[in-house]
A and B are shown apart, each in its own frame.
Chain A
Amino acid sequence: GENVEQHPSTLSVQEGDSAVIKCTYSDSASNYFPWYKQELGKRPQLIIDIRSNVGEKKDQRIAVTLNKTAKHFSLHITETQPEDSAVYFCAATPNNNDMRFGAGTRLTVKP
């Protein structure tokens, strides 16, 4: 089955710096790669996603890149703010109906 690995498990940055979280997946059939953000005590929510026919997608301060050949994708957050502090999960979809998540990255943005 699909196996998603996510690094790093924790990340601490100064406010205003950039943060990068990386994920790899194993199943070459995966074709949809969402990123979810979970703030403390809250439910995960989708922040950005990318499909396999696209190499990069950007939404304001966040961007995601995908390298299908290498089977890895990354989340980039620029100009980080304290409210970006949360756990971030990457995911990959090996078939039509289900999704496999990475173990999560706890991002702390220090003011």
Chain B
Amino acid sequence: DVKVTQSSRYLVKRTGEKVFLECVQDMDHENMFWYRQDPGLGLRLIYFSYDVKMKEKGDIPEGYSVSREKKERFSLILESASTNQTSMYLCASSQGSGSFYEQYFGPGTRLTVT
């Protein structure tokens, strides 16, 4: 079974703090993704990576950065957290270089910025 884990289920941070969200997958998947999920807006792609040290911007990359130093780990960084970044963050991974592969999601991190 594919396992995708995220470092925290719930996180509360203050405005201006630097926030790290970690995602680890154990199936040697090439592709990893970060989404945020907000009611009525679905899953919006923040960043994705198709290889170690590679990253691509999604639809809403502003205010975020990512790091992929190892194949199994993909980190999302909020350089200076703001209240409008309060959301559920979902990580996902998929195998292969094509898109015809199921994305496996982590359990999500609910981030509250106060």
B interface residues, how many (CB within 8 angstroms): 25
The interface bits of chain B over 28-42 (1 if a CB of A lies within 8 angstroms of the residue's CB, else 0) are 000101010000111
A101 engages B43 (CB within 8 Å): yes
Contact A34 B102 (CB under 8 A): yes
User: Residues of B with Cβ closer than 8 Å to A?
Assistant: 31, 33, 35, 40-45, 48, 50, 56, 58-59, 90, 97-100, 102-103, 105-108
Q: List 30 A-B contacts (CB under 8 A).
A: A9-B40, A32-B100, A34-B102, A36-B103, A43-B106, A43-B107, A43-B108, A44-B43, A44-B90, A45-B105, A49-B102, A51-B100, A89-B43, A93-B99, A93-B100, A96-B97, A96-B98, A97-B97, A97-B98, A97-B99, A98-B33, A98-B45, A98-B56, A98-B99, A99-B33, A99-B45, A100-B59, A101-B42, A101-B45, A103-B42
